[in-house]
Structure 1
Amino acid sequence: MLLTIFNWKCWLLCAFWIFVAKADETRTVHHPEVNPECEDDLPCDKPWITYVKADGNNMTTLHHLWGAVGAPTMMVAVTDLNATLRISWNNLINGTAGSVDFNDFDDVQYAFGFVIPNIILFDDVNDTGTIDNIPEEKLVSVPMSSFTWKLTETLNATGQEQGVVFETVEFNETPLANGTKISIKVTAYGEDGRSSALPHLIHTPNSGQIGIILDHLILNVTNEASNEEGAAPISGFSNPRWAMDLVFFSMEHRDSIKKGFEYETVKSLDDEYSPGVFNIDMITTNLSRVNSTGAYMQWRPVCYLTSDLDITYSTFPHVNTTFEELNYLDDSIKKSLAYAVFGEEIINSLVSTKSVIAFGQSKDGFYTGSNYTAWTLAYGIGSPPTESFSTTVILIISLGSGIPLLVFIMGGTYVGYRKLRGH
């Protein structure tokens, strides 16, 4: 089991890793392994764990671990090059803590991840787009363990990009209607660049990306129907919106941290890659802010309401940033990959917090206006990458300011020359 008792040796490892990481330009990202070494007599068709290994030339390996049983979990661990993943399959299936580990804990220099334990349906009667101040009778929390998931696609792109797609196929053991699903696309990267799809988030050799889609998610979670004429309700809510519980955890010193997770918004002058969106939101751990050995999550504050990803049809993600300390593990988390790795250490030793994200803004038609919401975020080890003007934009700015200046200089030179000739 991954323990989290840091000593001075662990701190030296972190410092050494970030030092050599500066020289690391790319990683070799291996093809995803789905349920590695799962025996045939076990339910290996379930997406218990998808493992992507990313080897660097800086003597470290990133291990991306993704699981969709129980609460969907995305996490990444930093180890030396020789660390190997170990899975005790019977213990994993039985929900035993410590069933997923590495061959030697001393190899683990850092780990970070997040879990989605519940989705929340709420009735936004005031059309604010937020879940703040919604009365209990106007919201329903649905455990993610109520869904059965299937790995529907393996994205074998290149040696620097690999990914998978998870989709829901059942709700409370009942098949979902065609087109009704939650889809999660997870990608690991091994080089600097940008995602090919909007909102074109930046990625690094130490990062990954998650895209979450709520597609025609019309679920009856209250066994009630709306009596309002002309309403397009979900479970009797005439103004329905979806939200998600989020749990973040990081392998850092709890006692010495004043603020484990912190939220920040950065303004950008350039919307070249994400038209109409000029802000970048991020959540960072303490070590990410102090010496770049921690982790981050980063996203553009936009959710798309159609698969075309057009800013014209978009809404807003509202993330609660109070970051209350996590002190309880619900059943969804105890069935998740995060619990299989860390167990009770999530609340006993790790720096962990809970938040919630709600999708919507005033006058966007609520969820039933489009029956589709797509949100994308990046995660990674180190400091969040910063936006900069592209070569194209720099060239346009240079030409826009340079050509008038050149005309002015040439004109002044010509006038001066004519005056000299006149004398």
Structure 2
Amino acid sequence: HSFSSSVVQLFIQVNPGSNSTPPLGDLLHVRAVGDNDTLHFLFCSQGAPTLLFVHTNSSSSNVQVNWTQFLAPNTNGSLKVEPESSVLYSSAIVFSRLLEYDDVNNTAEPTSEFFPPYDLQNFTWNHLNLSGHTALLCGADASFTNGSLCLQVCLFDSEGRSQSLPHLLHSVNSSQLELRLDGVPARAAQSRFLLELQAVGGAYPLSRMEVHESIDDEYTPSIFKVTVSLHAVRHVFLPRLVCLLGGNHPGLDSQHTPEQKPRTGMLSQHTVQNEQIDN
């Protein structure tokens, strides 16, 4: 999505409208308000972690949550954007499973022999840790002794660069998502991990995929392969992956593919950009 101004206002709430902490997971709601529109960004940890984007043509639109329905299993209509007539499009990304295989030849090309997957909807998730414009969610499978999988979402109300390495460029049209695997037990000598994502497009599903290759950032000099998912309503989901290893974030060669395989302890960071594109 492309806002008409270079600066937007961000309004951030955790569990909006709830009188108590939900027992099964939190709901983060961010309103990015432009001059004539609003981008609603929702991050839910109830079940498998999910990101929901809703773009409206109103700067006063808001999200209403029916918490009784929201906490009940297999119910619809618990979350509404009002006024409903202002909704231009919506899309969602579900972080569904963590996969692992033995990369014997160190090629980063997955084989058909995967270990039993970790289903993220069965993870035990901590409550969201909100600090400024950054939300951190960490959880673990019952089989993890001390390991964890963490998702950190960073949102921006102006243009600039991240303070931490690799100092990725951001704007009001982008958010950044960091994935951390910390101490997850490997089941093979050369284990690699894949994070499975499921995209949901509602009335406007992803219509086509394109891959672009470019050198576009002197702060992170490299050739990036970027998979661009295009919607029929001129909405683009643009992830750019950067892999880092260790707590001090030393660099590591990486490339973006439909299935990216970070090793244990690796942090991956990408930019999710929502903007309009010309046909």
Task: With the length of structure 1 as denominator, give the TM-score of the two structures.
Answer: 0.60
Alignment of 1:150-165 (within 5 A): 150-156=126-132, 162-165=133-136
Deviation at 1:118, TM superposition (A): 0.5
Q: Deviations over 1:33-74 (max 9, x none)?
A: 11112233xx525433111111112x1111110012221112
Q: Deviations over 1:1-30 (max 9, x none)?
A: xxxxxxxxxxxxxxxx96xx4x32210112
Q: Give the SS at the match of 1:358.
A: coil
The residue aligned with 2:54 is 77
Q: Deviations over 1:241-288 (max 9, x none)?
A: 11111112335545xxxx7131322221x652114x232523231447
**Closer, same or farther: CA 307–265 of 1 in aligned 2, 3 Å:** farther
The residue aligned with 1:86 is 64
The residue aligned with 1:295 is 236
Structure 2 residue corresponding to 1:142, chosen from 92, 114, 118:
118
The residue aligned with 2:86 is 107
The residue aligned with 2:19 is 39
Work out whether 1:319 is the aligned partner of 2:257. Answer: yes
The residue aligned with 1:307 is 247
**Closer, same or farther: CA 383–308 of 1 in aligned 2, 3 Å:** farther
Q: Give the SS at the match of 1:139.
A: coil
Residue identity in the other structure for 1:265: H
Q: Which structure 1 segments of 5+ residues have no match? A: 1-16, 157-161, 219-233, 321-355, 360-366, 385-423
CA distance in 1, matches of 2:210, 2:261: 16
The residue aligned with 1:24 is 5
Residue identity in the other structure for 1:294: H
Q: Give the SS at the match of 2:126.
A: strand
The residue aligned with 1:340 is none
Q: Deviations over 1:131-150 (max 9, x none)?
A: 2xx134x4322110121111
In terms of fraction of residues, the more strand-rich structure is: 2
Percent pairwise identity:
21
Q: Deviations over 1:82-110 (max 9, x none)?
A: 22211111221123122111133212112
The residue aligned with 2:168 is 201
CA distance in 2, matches of 1:52, 1:283: 24
Residue identity in the other structure for 1:279: F
Q: Deviations over 1:151-188 (max 9, x none)?
A: 352121xxxxx1210011x423x7x544x111111012
Structure 2 residue corresponding to 1:167, chosen from 116, 138, 151:
138
Structure 2 residue corresponding to 1:279, chosen from 224, 249, 260:
224
Alignment of 1:151-300 (within 5 A): 151-156=127-132, 162-168=133-139, 170-172=140-142, 176-178=144-146, 180-218=147-185, 234-235=186-187, 237-251=188-202, 253=204, 260-268=207-215, 272-275=218-221, 277-287=222-232, 293-300=234-241
CA contact (8 A) 1:74 1:114 kept: yes
CA distance in 1, matches of 2:63, 2:97: 28
CA contact (8 A) 2:225 2:257 kept: no
The residue aligned with 2:105 is 126
CA contact (8 A) 2:97 2:195 kept: yes
State the superposition RMSD in angstroms: 2.5
Alignment of 1:56-67 (within 5 A): 56-57=34-35, 59-67=36-44
* Structure number, greater radius of gyration: 1
Q: Deviations over 1:296-348 (max 9, x none)?
A: 22314x3111122222xx2425522xxxxxxxxxxxxxxxxxxxxxxxxxxxx
The residue aligned with 1:11 is none
In terms of fraction of residues, the more helix-rich structure is: 1
Query: Which of 1 and 2 has higher RCO (CA within 8 Å, sep 6+)?
Result: 1
Structure 1 residue corresponding to 2:28, chosen from 40, 50, 65:
50
Count of residues in Structure 1 that have an aligned counterpart in Structure 2: 275
CA distance in 2, matches of 1:50, 1:27: 18
**Closer, same or farther: CA 203–45 of 1 in aligned 2, 3 Å:** farther
The residue aligned with 1:410 is none
CA distance in 2, matches of 1:75, 1:198: 27
Q: Give the SS at the match of 2:121.
A: helix
Residue identity in the other structure for 1:37: G
Q: Which structure 2 segments of 5+ residues have no match? A: none
CA distance in 2, matches of 1:202, 1:280: 16
Q: Give the SS at the match of 2:212.
A: strand
Residue identity in the other structure for 1:150: N
**Closer, same or farther: CA 214–317 of 1 in aligned 2, 3 Å:** farther
CA distance in 2, matches of 1:199, 1:46: 34
